[in-house]
């Protein structure tokens, strides 16, 4: 079973935040483009 993996990293001050989203091909629900955009926009506006 193939997995797609997305990693988002954001450094704020001396702290680095990293979010890893793993998406399995056989999953009933998948991370869609809207959720990915939401995460990226949220991280971009955090600092």
Supply the range of the domain harboring residue 40: 3-44
The DSSP H or E segment spanning 4 is: strand 3-12
Domain count, the chain: 1
DSSP β-ladder status, 15-24 and 3-12: antiparallel
What mean pLDDT do residues 23-39 have? Answer: 69
d(Cα 7, Cα 12) in Å, to the nearest integer? Answer: 16
Q: How confident is the model at residue 31 (pLDDT cuts 50, 70, 90)?
A: low
Residues 6+ apart with CB under 8 A from 38: none
Check residue 2 and give its pLDDT.
61
| Per-residue model confidence as pLDDT tens digits over 8-29 | 888 989 999 888 877 777 766 6
């Amino acid at each position: 079973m193939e997995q797609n993996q997305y990693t988002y990293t954001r450094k704020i001050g001396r702290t680095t935040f990293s979010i890893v989203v793993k998406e399995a091909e056989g999953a009933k629900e998948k991370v869609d483009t809207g959720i990915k955009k939401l995460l990226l926009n949220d991280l971009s506006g955090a600092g």
